Amino acid sequence: MIGPDWPIGIRIVDVRRPISPLTDVAAYPRVRVFVTDGPDLVGAVDIWNGGRTISAARLRHTIAQGVGDRLAKRQLARQLVEDQSGEPLSANVSVSIVVPTCDRAEDLRRCLESLEAQRSTRLIEIIVVDNRPGRGPAREVARDFPRMTLIEEKRPGLSYARNAGFLAAHGDILVTTDDDVMAPPTWIERLVAPFARSDVAAVTGHVLPLELETAGQCRFEAYGGLGKGFDPIEVNGDWFRGFKGAVPTWRLGATANAAFRASALGDPAIGMMDEALGAGTPTGCSEDTLLFYRLLKANHTLVYEPSAYVWHRHRVSSAALRKQIFAYSKGHVAYQLTTLTAERDPRALVRLGWSLPKTYVHRAIERLRGRSEYPLNLIALEIWGNLAGPFALWRSRRRVRKLGRSVDARAGKVRADPALHDVA
């Protein structure tokens, strides 16, 4: 339970290398070990160590119990199955990485350092979008990264910032991440590899917690975090049409770790980010799930590749956590209402009237039975956020009418006022 069992230490163990004891975990009552098989992310195990060293024997035993089946299947596949990966993505395919930022200089610096360390031979463009220009941090950091392009988007909101980056980008593939993310050196090649298939229009990757040092960070991970598990997922238009209820695009990843074929975002049936949704707006989130929705509705394929993982620094304080969860809850309802009204999809009503309330009942029961670390007061906060969702969407739509749109998301028209974002 959250309390005596946090903070949680984060460690990574590669089973292809000799397993050594974890001797630097005295500050932690529990350690979360992410298990890799070489460069591939396999799974995670939790070890309640009570502030004591974790021996190599216990580490091996826990990994065998927790992810042994996965490792065995991988080993068997390597022995019996011929390589069916197909042709790799051509090195001539260029990539633009769009990183919005807002007054987080040190996070941005760490993020850019990890992006510049990517092992790739392809042309990679890094575009930082300062969404709170004039205060200086992003420009100061940019001086230390001369190969980076800095642009400014004066209208507040993550979707405005991402769209500004998309419009300035030159890459064949547009990659999105956040300034509080750090990527391992193999990340970009693993993320873009599925684009070797012409039917793939989007790829998402796993998002792991960089640290779980505070109650707020641990509770966000208990809420679900940003990652979507260790199993690859592939979905398409048939999957999209196969649901009687709302299409669960929120299970497919997040734009903290995602890539899109630039030509798909130029399709009038898809467009870019809906600027009435997302962080920095009254709705708070769900611009990514709506983009996934439109890609799938247009019969494209989306791949979730867990081995294309990044590390995310969760919000530290409990107050920041509450604000974030309230925003997520508003945004989820705003997304459902958008698919209902803009996409004429009545399946949203099933989510709003049945499956979403059922989810909260299930969470509450799991908490009361001691099988969940997620507190009841945060469940109540989510419900309150859901109730605030319709009004938040109305406010966001009014805000977009006032500030203007970067593009006409349904007609693919670039906005008429280029002065609203300036190349630095």
Residue count of the chain: 424
CA distance 109 to 101: 11
Q: Which two tokens stand for residue 220?
A: 């966000």
Q: How far is CA 241 from CA 290, 296, 365, in A?
A: 15, 9, 32
* Three-state secondary structure call for residue 129: strand
How do residues 260-318 score in pLDDT, each as one tens digit? 999 999 998 999 999 999 999 999 999 999 999 999 999 999 999 999 999 999 989 98
Contact at 8 Å (CB) between 213 and 7? Answer: yes
Domain boundaries of the chain, sorted by first residue? 8-80, 95-320, 324-403
Q: Pick the closest to residue 324 from 225, 183, 178, 176 (CA basis).
A: 225
The residues facing 207 across adjacent strands are 310
Cβ neighbours of residue 106 closer than 8 Å, sequence gap 6 or more: none
HSE at residue 254, side-chain half, CA atoms within 13 A, is 23
Q: Which residues contact 11 (CB under 8 A, 6 or more apart)?
A: 22, 25, 31, 32, 33, 34
∠ CA 246-247-248, nearest 5°, is: 105
Q: What is the pLDDT of residues 244-267, one digit of tens each?
A: 999 999 999 999 999 999 999 999
Report the CATH fold assignment for 95-320: Spore Coat Polysaccharide Biosynthesis Protein SpsA; Chain A (3.90.550)
Higher pLDDT, 40 or 418: 40
pLDDT value of residue 192: 98
Tokens of 113: 């350092």
pLDDT score of 128: 97
Query: Mean pLDDT over residues 169-184, rounded?
Result: 97
Cα torsion angle, 254, 260, 266, 267, sign: negative
| Cis? peptide before 7, omega within 30° of 0 | yes
Average pLDDT of the chain? 91
Query: What's the burial of 238, exposed, middle or buried (CB within 10 Å: 0-12/13-18/19+)?
Result: exposed
Q: Which of 353, 424, 418 is nearest to 164 (CA)?
A: 418
Identify whether the C-beta of residue 227 lies closer than 8 Å to the C-beta of residue 304: no
